[in-house]
């Protein structure tokens, strides 16, 4: 299938128009015409090869929503015209213990990313900064028509990546929960933690985001550069979700955990985060991480959002503004997710 999108040709080149081929749909494939695609900080890390191993040309994008245009003969969940979403994963082995448990991101054979990856057949995957995507129905999600479709797109990565650990660590009433970094992931983590009934403290480096954090559900907001404000919360948190994309002092947050409290990293800075052993040993604290979420859990999250009317706060932009968006995301100047409008993609 002929496809068109925007690609990075090298780690330093701006994204430019790019024609490429996708596979013809197989029996279990769904073809989705893309209406909107979110810009995740992971797109920037990979387009600029900050994690190493990037493959070019790269069409980023794994927060994809649109409309089904065709389905293979074995597809049962979708028909042409349905709203559909595709996230970070497009192939896993389906038979290992983790896949069978619905934890596909942790597939022991290795999950295949929606872009910047080779699938099990050796073909390059290309992401959602494009007009169409082809994916097996197991990795395609039903989207409710009740919600603003553009604002649903970020749920496919930022949404599930924060929903999954908050559920895993049983965040809910009578829990004091911190969210670090008010960006794309952070603002979804804040919305979910608030919706689950926890007492939520938003940590931010940006004084300009205090009012928004409160509107989005924060019970308290702490400017993380203010050592006195941080110290007032020492030893008091059950759980902290760290959504920061850059180097920062993890020990400052570990010291805020109570007995048996846990920090979960979802942010993926390209450099190690030094940990002082005393930060962990004191209060028997845990430091852990989490990657996106399983397919069943992603559909559960989307259904939860439809029921509770939860979407992302977005700035809808045209394809001519990708570079500007990347520059602003890196500066932390995003409220709170850029979403590319497919109507501006002209071949």
Give residues in contact with ligand NAP (CB under 6 A).
40-42, 45, 157-158, 161, 181-186, 204-206, 209, 243-248, 266-268, 290-292, 329, 332, 334
Structure tokens at 202: 């938003």
Query: Is residue 42 close enough to count as binding Zn ion by CB under 5 A?
Result: yes
Structure tokens at 12: 């330093």
Least separation, in Å, of the C-beta of 36 and ligand NAP?
A: 16
210 binds, among Zn ion, ligand NAP, none (CB under 5 to 8 A by kind): none
282 binds, among ligand NAP, Zn ion, none (CB under 5 to 8 A by kind): none
> Quick count: other Cβ atoms within 10 Å of Cβ 117?
21
Give, to the nearest 10 degrees, the angle between helix 158-168 and helix 295-308.
Answer: 100
Among 72, 71, 93, 73, residue whose Cα is nearest residue 84: 71
- Contact by Cβ (8 Å): 51, 117: no
> Quick count: other Cβ atoms within 10 Å of Cβ 343?
11
32 binds, among ligand NAP, Zn ion, none (CB under 5 to 8 A by kind): none
Least separation, in Å, of the C-beta of 42 and Zn ion?
A: 4
Q: Which is nearer to ligand NAP, 25 or 154 (CB)?
A: 154
For ligand NAP, the nearest residue by Cβ is: 183
243 binds, among ligand NAP, Zn ion, none (CB under 5 to 8 A by kind): ligand NAP
185 binds, among ligand NAP, Zn ion, none (CB under 5 to 8 A by kind): ligand NAP
Exposed / middle / buried, residue 300 (Cβ in 10 Å: 0-12, 13-18, 19+): middle
Query: Is residue 157 close enough to count as binding Zn ion by CB under 5 A?
Result: yes
Least separation, in Å, of the C-beta of 101 and ligand NAP?
A: 17
What sign does the dihedral 271-268-58-105 (CA atoms) show? positive
Site of interaction with Zn ion (CB under 5 A)? 40, 42, 157
């Amino acid at each position: 299938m002929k496809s068109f999108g925007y690609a990075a040709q090298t780690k330093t080149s701006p994204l430019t128009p790019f024609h490429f081929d996708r596979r013809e749909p197989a029996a279990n494939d769904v073809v989705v015409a893309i209406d909107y695609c979110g810009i995740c900080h992971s797109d920037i890390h990979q387009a600029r090869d900050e994690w190493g191993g990037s493959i070019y040309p790269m069409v980023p994008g794994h927060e994809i929503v649109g409309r089904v245009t065709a389905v293979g003969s074995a597809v049962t969940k979708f028909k042409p015209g349905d709203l559909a979403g595709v996230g970070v994963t497009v192939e896993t082995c389906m038979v290992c213990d983790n896949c069978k448990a619905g934890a596909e991101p942790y597939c022991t054979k290795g999950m295949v990313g929606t872009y910047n990856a080779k699938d099990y057949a050796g073909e390059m995957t290309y992401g959602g900064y494009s007009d169409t995507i082809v994916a097996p129905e197991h990795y395609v999600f039903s989207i409710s028509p009740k919600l603003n479709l553009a604002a649903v797109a970020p749920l496919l990565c930022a949404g599930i990546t924060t929903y999954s650990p908050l559920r895993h660590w049983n965040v809910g009433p009578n829990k004091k929960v911190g969210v670090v970094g008010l960006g794309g992931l952070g603002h979804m983590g804040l919305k979910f933690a608030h919706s689950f009934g926890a007492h939520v403290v938003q940590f931010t480096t940006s004084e300009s985001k205090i009012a928004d954090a409160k509107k989005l559900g924060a019970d308290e907001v702490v400017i993380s550069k203010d050592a006195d404000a941080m110290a007032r919360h020492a030893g008091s948190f059950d759980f902290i979700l760290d959504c920061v994309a850059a180097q920062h002092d993890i020990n400052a947050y570990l010291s805020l955990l109570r007995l048996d409290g846990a920090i979960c990293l979802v942010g993926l800075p390209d450099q190690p985060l030094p940990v002082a052993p005393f930060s962990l040993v004191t209060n028997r604290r845990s430091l852990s991480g989490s990657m996106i979420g399983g397919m069943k859990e992603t559909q559960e999250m989307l259904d939860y959002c439809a029921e509770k009317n939860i979407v992302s706060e977005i700035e809808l932009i045209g394809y001519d503004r990708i570079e500007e968006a990347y520059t602003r995301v890196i500066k932390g100047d995003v409220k709170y997710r850029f979403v590319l409008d497919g109507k501006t993609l002209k071949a």
